[in-house]
Amino acid sequence: MSGAVDTSAAELIEGPADEPRPSAVRRFFNAWLVRRLFKAILTVFIVTTGTFFLVRLLPGNPVDTYISTQIAQTGISYEAAAAQAKNLFSLDPNQPIVVQYFHYMINMLHGDFGNSMLSPGTTVASVIKTYLPWTLFSVGVATVISFIVGIVAGMIMAYRRETWIDHLLTSIGSLLHAIPNYILAILIVVFLGVKLQWFDLTAARGSYTPGVTPSFSFSFLNDIFYHATLPILAYALTTVGSWALVMKSSTVETLGEDYVTVARARGLTDSRIRSGYVGRNAVLPLFSQLAVSLGFVVGGSIFVERIFGYQGIGFSLYNAVSGRDYAVLQGIFLVVTISVVVANLLADVLYSRLDPRIRVQGKGKG
């Protein structure tokens, strides 16, 4: 659809589409990227709309609940309570629903998620700004570690097929793949924390030691990593198994490709074949899964952060859910979804850079 518009626009600018060879590739990419961006925006739009109606569907509509408790507790008039609610939820309960929805969307575009219901005076945006970076940090570091370790382990397994090291790594990989991250977190707490005393669990709570001022100094970085070690360990260990197993099967498949046989026949060195021919092509399919796994890990942070007391977005989400802080809840839900959408977009762009076939295929389908 957008492809057709794009071609005609290009024709207007460049004349007949017969001869411009070099810009053709560029046009493909542009069209693909535009369509991918459009998809991302559409997703965010649908989720934002869904959130608006979800909040109104929740039992004991939070807006009405808030107004009635305010009237009961502080004895203020309905108008005053409604005005407060309007401020809190970025929506005015007295307006028709279409107008409310419109205002809600406009506010969201400005990054205005309203105020927290539990801690008056705190905006939802500031809650997110305080907690989200720590989750992105710990999940990001863990994902990079487990991706790299998994790829190396997977290639070792594929090259040493049916040897003891393959069986050993496959068993470990299956075991780690099977264990949920919160179960592993409990085991880490029990064994590394309580039994072996390697980590001081109470000192490691929070995202950094209270009183330490955030700065780009070594001691602060050290402090950050001390607090993030256990969550990173839990995320990385529970995801590394699946990366290794997927990489193993991908490598095994690549090893059977004709171009690898040809490369061998040409007498290229093993290390050259391993990195340039097998590794590069085997790792490609894994990139498309990177974004999905990121979303999964960010979602899983509600369990892991709760168990370690790590103060990221999952921790604050748990507090919002158990405290029925609808405003914060709604904001976090949106922001987590948007970060997953952005991660998906980045992974797709990265993937298409690495494997140009995707762009062409996408073009054909659209």
Q: Which residues bind other proteins (CB under 8 A)?
A: 39, 42-43, 46-47, 54, 58-59, 161, 174-175, 177-180, 182-183, 186-187, 189-190, 193-194, 245, 249, 252-253, 255-256, 292, 295-296, 298-300, 302-303, 306-307, 317-318, 321-322, 329, 332-333, 336-337, 340-341, 344
State the minimum distance, in angstroms, from the CB of residue 333 to other proteins: 6
State the minimum distance, in angstroms, from the CB of residue 231 to other proteins: 15
State the minimum distance, in angstroms, from the CB of residue 221 to other proteins: 29
Which residues are CB-contacts of 261 (< 8 A; sequence separation ≥ 6)?
A: none
* CA-based torsion, 101, 33, 7, 9: positive or negative: positive
State the minimum distance, in angstroms, from the CB of residue 87 to other proteins: 22
> In terms of CB distance, is 227 or 314 closer to other proteins?
314
- Looking at residue 217, the DSSP 8-state letter turns out to be S
> In terms of CB distance, is 115 or 339 closer to other proteins?
339
Q: Give the C-alpha separation, 335 to 60, whole Å.
A: 24
Q: Is 203 exposed, middle or buried (0-12, 13-18, 19+ CB in 10 A)?
A: exposed
What is the end-to-end Cα distance of the chain in Å, rounded? Answer: 7
> In terms of CB distance, is 10 or 293 closer to other proteins?
293
> In terms of CB distance, is 229 or 251 closer to other proteins?
251
Q: What interhelical angle do 124-159 and 218-255 show, nearest 10?
A: 40
> In terms of CB distance, is 76 or 105 closer to other proteins?
105
Which residues in 136-267 belong to E strands, given as ranges? Answer: none
**Nearest residue to 201 (alpha-carbon basis) of 191, 213, 211, 214:** 191
* Paired tokens of 202: 């109470």
Give the three-state DSSP class for 251. Answer: helix
> In terms of CB distance, is 283 or 343 closer to other proteins?
343
State the minimum distance, in angstroms, from the CB of residue 350 to other proteins: 17
Q: Give the C-alpha separation, 133 to 139, whole Å.
A: 10
State the minimum distance, in angstroms, from the CB of residue 268 to other proteins: 19
**Nearest residue to 235 (alpha-carbon basis) of 317, 168, 302:** 302
State the minimum distance, in angstroms, from the CB of residue 178 to other proteins: 4
> In terms of CB distance, is 19 or 258 closer to other proteins?
258
- Tell me the one-letter amino acid at 69: T
- Tell me the one-letter amino acid at 248: K
> In terms of CB distance, is 253 or 270 closer to other proteins?
253
> In terms of CB distance, is 143 or 337 closer to other proteins?
337
> In terms of CB distance, is 117 or 317 closer to other proteins?
317
Q: Decide: 337 and 299 in contact? Cβ < 8 Å.
A: no
**Nearest residue to 286 (alpha-carbon basis) of 165, 168, 153, 182:** 153
State the minimum distance, in angstroms, from the CB of residue 285 to other proteins: 13
State the minimum distance, in angstroms, from the CB of residue 8 to other proteins: 22
Q: Give the C-alpha separation, 110 to 160, whole Å.
A: 55
State the minimum distance, in angstroms, from the CB of residue 275 to other proteins: 20
Beta bridge partners of 123: 115
* Paired tokens of 254: 């690549």
Q: Give the C-alpha separation, 100 to 104, whole Å.
A: 6
